[in-house]
Amino acid sequence: MRLTGAQVFHPRKGFVLGEVCAGNGVLTEQSGDKAVDLAGCYVLPGLIDLHFRGCGGEDFSDATPDGLQKIADYQLSRGITGICPAGMTLGEDTLTAICENAAAHIEGNKPGAELLGLHLEGPFISMAKKGAQNGDFVHDPDGDMLERLQKAAKGHVKLVTLAPEGPGAIDFIRKANELGVRVSLGHTTADYDTATAAYNAGARQATHLFNAMPSFTHREPGVIGAAADHEEVMAELICDGVHVHASAVRAMFRLFGPKRMILISDSLRAAGMGDGEYPFGGQYIEVHGARATILGHPETLAGSVSDLMGCVKKATEFGVSLWAAVTAASVNPAKALGVYDRLGSLDAGKDANFAVLNTDYTLKAVVFHGQVVSGAL
């Protein structure tokens, strides 16, 4: 495969006029294949969503093989070639089933977007900031439970969201690090000092900035201020046009810089489905346009109905450059999940996973392991 004439993503230089070559499923320096002219298009590495719950009518927390396969297929069709879906705040038996289902999918080498691991968004969160999650299953930080879940997942739990004000949180962070699990602070009432202590102990991420955490103010900077002060910490941001105002999106990209932002979709099973009512962790949500809320509680956002490619486009509409948005949706999540050696950029030797966008940033084609799997070149 040899694609020429396009603006090609480079992690340091931005988008540059160049060519993309691939063979045997990996990116190469050159190719003897006939060139395909993509003048006016953009080529970017496959996106990686490390925080979403479902799409296409399916939810990761349902823990069904068919549902997970449909999620992977849908994500790949949208140019998201790597996924790390989130399990919700549920009982340990249910979380164990979620972990076992994910492990079986990974070890079965299934088609669709690559399942890079899973994210436990609960249950180690604050009741006061549980958001749309089910408060019946909120649990204090418990390293032994995390270890059991990691065992059920056969080592594939990559992320856990934690409210660091919970009892034993610092010990939990240290235990998570020993288990190879990256800790992200979120669904929390933590103040700046508490969050700082957690980051000093080894937490390395912030879960969906602004949402389910204290506000960032001049006297109480909270988790956002603590995350900004730690250069090694990355910060998630939902850019669906509903969860965070455009001005705040621009402000966070300035505060953290593109190399520390992680765009996420936080999508629900309703993504790609349209208006209606949908089950959600023992509750129901209602969707009207781009807004998804708990049924009967229109003030409580439940997640998004966008996908990560839609969030990248929305970020550009908000004034974020395409390069910065792609950095936050591919390079940074690949680094956070420890897979940047083979994913997240278009460097030779990495997996030939990429998306081609039209001039207006709409999706033209998706290439996965060197094969066109959606659209056409």
Residue partners of 1: CB distance under 8 A and separation at least 6: 20, 21, 22, 23, 31, 33, 36, 352, 367, 370
Instruction: Note whether 271 and 56 are within 8 A (CB).
Output: yes
> Active-site residue 266, yes or no?
yes
Rounded-to-5 percentages of helix, strand, coil across the chain: 30, 30, 40
Paired strand residues for 286: 277, 293
Out of 266, 275, 341, 347, pick the active-site residue: 266
Residue 274: other Cβ atoms inside 10 A: 8
Say if strands 157-162 and 42-45 run parallel, antiparallel, or are unpaired.
unpaired
Residue 327's closest CA among 116, 81, 45? Answer: 45
Paired strand residues for 26: 23, 351
Paired strand residues for 371: 368
- Tell me which H or E stretch contains 195: helix 192-201
Angle at 181 between CA 73 and CA 122, to 5 degrees: 70
What's the CA gap between 31 and 13, in Å, rounded? Answer: 23
Instruction: Note whether 123 and 140 are within 8 A (CB).
Output: no
Catalytically annotated residues: 266
